[in-house]
Amino acid sequence: MNKNILYSGLVALVVTLATLGIYQKMQTSKYGTVRIEHINATPGKQAVLTVDEEGNIIPLDFTKTAEKVVNAVVHIKSTQTFGGRGEEVPQAYRRELPDPFRDFFGERGDDLFGPFFRFETPRSGGPQVRIGTGSGVIINENGYIVTNNHVVENADDLEVTLHDNRVFKATVVGTDPSTDLALIQIKAKDLPKLPLVNSDDIKVGEWVLAVGNPLGLTSTVTAGIVSAKGRNINILREQFAVESFIQTDAAINPGNSGGALVNLQGGLIGINTAIASPTGSYAGYGFAVPSNIVNKVVEDLLTYGVVQRGVLGVMIRSVDGNLAREKELEVTQGAYVDSLLENSAAGAAGIEPGDVIVEVDGVKVTSSPELQAVIAQHRPGDKVSVTVNRKGKEKTFNVVLNNRDGGKGLLKKEHKEVLSVLGAEFETLDKDTAKKLDIEGGVKVKKLYAGKLRKYTDMREGFIITKVDGQVVKSVDDLVKALEGKKGGVMLEGVYEDLPGEFYYAFGM
């Protein structure tokens, strides 16, 4: 009995071993030998490769680029006071100040940005203070910094912190809401700076780094690629808004606004401006203003004090397959001319409604944002060569661009250092308004920035200055002459179009 049991057990063992051997042989013949190795360290620098300009395969390394770039990106703190000058906190700000792009991020009323837009009330009571944070890029060793208009807009005070933790007060040189760009300056020299490169040369799929101060995390660097070019996301509400964004998947969050988007050589290719997200935080899509547009805006603000925008005078939309079929077009790409504006420069040159603009100065145009970007790099009076497709045939026209008022001339240079200290944009009052108000003339405050007027007075935009310390002023030049070299107290006298009586504002120079 015991022998039989032992014999049966041996037979079962042999059969089992044979079966396992056959199975192992089958597995080996089908898949080959499978080995799993474990190593102590992964050679990370060799994990991702790229190709240089000579076609050589090299390891992809962001460290050198990050070292070059991070020192030239600053943190900006924007402070705005409510309720301290008889002013009530706007209802929209009571819970949390919405970002200008809130509608783009998600539903209005959501708390999207946490502490990056917050209110602080002093323990002793008094006015509430709105604190906003953003980023900026040093583009000149003497303290000129590019950022977003929505970072500095309505600020009473601007504070810039450099990468080495030095802190400076900043003044606004000028802004351009139509591109959401602003130029500010701090009193410092020999600063690290970023060079601007030709953003037209970047390619979709190219590696880029985003540098800024997101979510309160200073000097943050993220990596990604250029996801698309010429994006129009309809977030700027200005009449002459220019949207031709660079899209990237490098992580961009609240606080990155105004920061740098750079290539691997450390050249500035864009200013980070917005994100597409249902929550207000990074969801894979960020947008930057191309450096070519940045360069034009900065040049204009420094040279003229205002942006000189060349205008074609056309209403356009991007051509796609549906529009091509609807309008029986011969092309499926370009900018379709819906209509011509009054005093249209394009119309004067011979361009007609129904034409499809396909090229400007040799640059191919495949959409309306691309056309906007090309024209935005020109000033009134510039001549551009515009090629259109008209019923299947191409025609070229030489167009002399207009200004926003329909003329050919540049807007008058009104930028003076003394006016930057005041923190306002001024214009000479027109004769019709002066006659209506029964005054000899004056200087109108078009826009208030961070500066003495906003910080020390409760002046509103639209105030018309008629006297400085009792001296009559009828133009911006008169205002500059009255204030240049001034020390001590200053008294401004003037009126509002919509309020009776005269108003007086005093501050110290």
Give me the active site residues, please: 150, 180, 257
Say if residue 377 is exposed, middle or buried (CB neighbours under 10 Å; 0-12, 13-18, 19+).
buried
Q: How far apart are CA 34 and CA 376, in angstroms?
A: 60
Q: Please list the alpha-helical segments (H only) found in 32-171.
A: 63-70, 102-105, 149-152
Q: How far apart are CA 271 and CA 184, in angstroms?
A: 14
CA distances 128 to 93, 123, 131, 211, 459, Å, are 11, 11, 10, 31, 18
Question: For the chain, how far is it from start to end, CA to CA, in angstroms?
Answer: 117
Residue 418, φ and ψ in degrees, nearest 5? -65, -30
H or E, element range at 393: strand 393-400
Instruction: Retrieve residue 90's tokens.
Output: 């706007």
Sequence length of the chain is 509
Please say whether the beta carbons of 291 and 269 come within 8 A. yes
DSSP code string of 233-284: ------TT----EEEE-S---TT-TT-EEE-TTS-EEEEEEEEE-SSSS-SS
Please say whether the beta carbons of 337 and 351 come within 8 A. yes
What angle (nearest 5°) sits at the alpha carbon of residue 34, between those of residues 28 and 35? 145
Instruction: Retrieve residue 266's tokens.
Output: 């450390």
Question: Which residues does 342 contact at the CB level (< 8 Å), separation at least 6?
Answer: 313, 406
